[in-house]
């Protein structure tokens, strides 16, 4: 089975994803149960949670910031995978830092600024406008 790029939330962070009864989801967790990444749609990964395994947005480490075609190739991503996350909305995340970041707005076909809290969020999150355009400028609405 192919493993999708990115990392699952640390298990302590997962506890914030689901309510105690495992019925309500937060932070983009889909609550669909899975056994492998292939069971999850789009860029979501099969990650551990309090209630088993669910499909969740992956987290990219500092060394996994997407900056261009070489990184995409080394992570085994196809153009379709890139397009999938370029359609995701901006997400500030669940921490309280104030980082200036950019996301690709598929409606306006522009990279737009937003404030990122420093953790969580999704892969449509770039440190520079140039990185954003390099990763998502091929997307059409």
Q: Check residue 53 and give its pLDDT.
A: 74
| R_g of the chain, CA atoms, integer Å | 15
Distance (Å, whole) CA 67 – CA 50: 33
Q: Which backbone phi and psi does 134 adopt, to 5 degrees?
A: -60, -40
Assess whether 16 and 70 both reside in one domain: no
Distance (Å, whole) CA 13 – CA 129: 29
Q: Per residue of the chain (141 residues), give pLDDT as tens.
A: 567 777 676 544 444 444 444 444 454 444 557 788 888 888 887 777 666 677 877 766 543 333 333 344 444 444 444 447 888 889 888 788 888 999 999 889 999 999 888 888 888 999 999 999 988 887 765
Domain containing 31 equals: 11-56
3-state secondary structure of 10: coil
- Do residues 56 and 63 lie in contact, with contact meaning Cβ atoms separated by under 8 Å? no
Residue 29 located in a structural domain: yes
pTM above 0.75, yes or no: no
Assess whether 83 and 50 both reside in one domain: no
Assess whether 79 and 121 both reside in one domain: yes
């Amino acid at each position: 089975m192919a493993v999708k790029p990115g990392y699952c939330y640390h298990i302590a962070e997962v506890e914030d994803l689901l309510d105690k009864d495992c019925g309500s989801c937060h932070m983009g967790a889909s609550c669909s149960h899975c056994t492998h990444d292939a069971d999850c749609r789009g860029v979501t990964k099969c990650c551990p949670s309090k209630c088993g395994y669910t499909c969740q947005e992956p987290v990219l480490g500092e060394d996994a910031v997407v900056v261009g075609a070489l990184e995409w190739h080394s992570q085994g991503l196809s153009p379709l995978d890139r397009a999938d996350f370029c359609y995701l909305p901006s997400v500030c995340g669940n921490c309280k830092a104030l980082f200036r970041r950019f996301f690709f707005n598929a409606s306006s076909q522009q990279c737009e600024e937003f404030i990122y809290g420093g953790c969580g969020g999704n892969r449509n999150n770039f440190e520079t406008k140039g990185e954003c355009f390099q990763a998502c400028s091929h997307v059409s609405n």
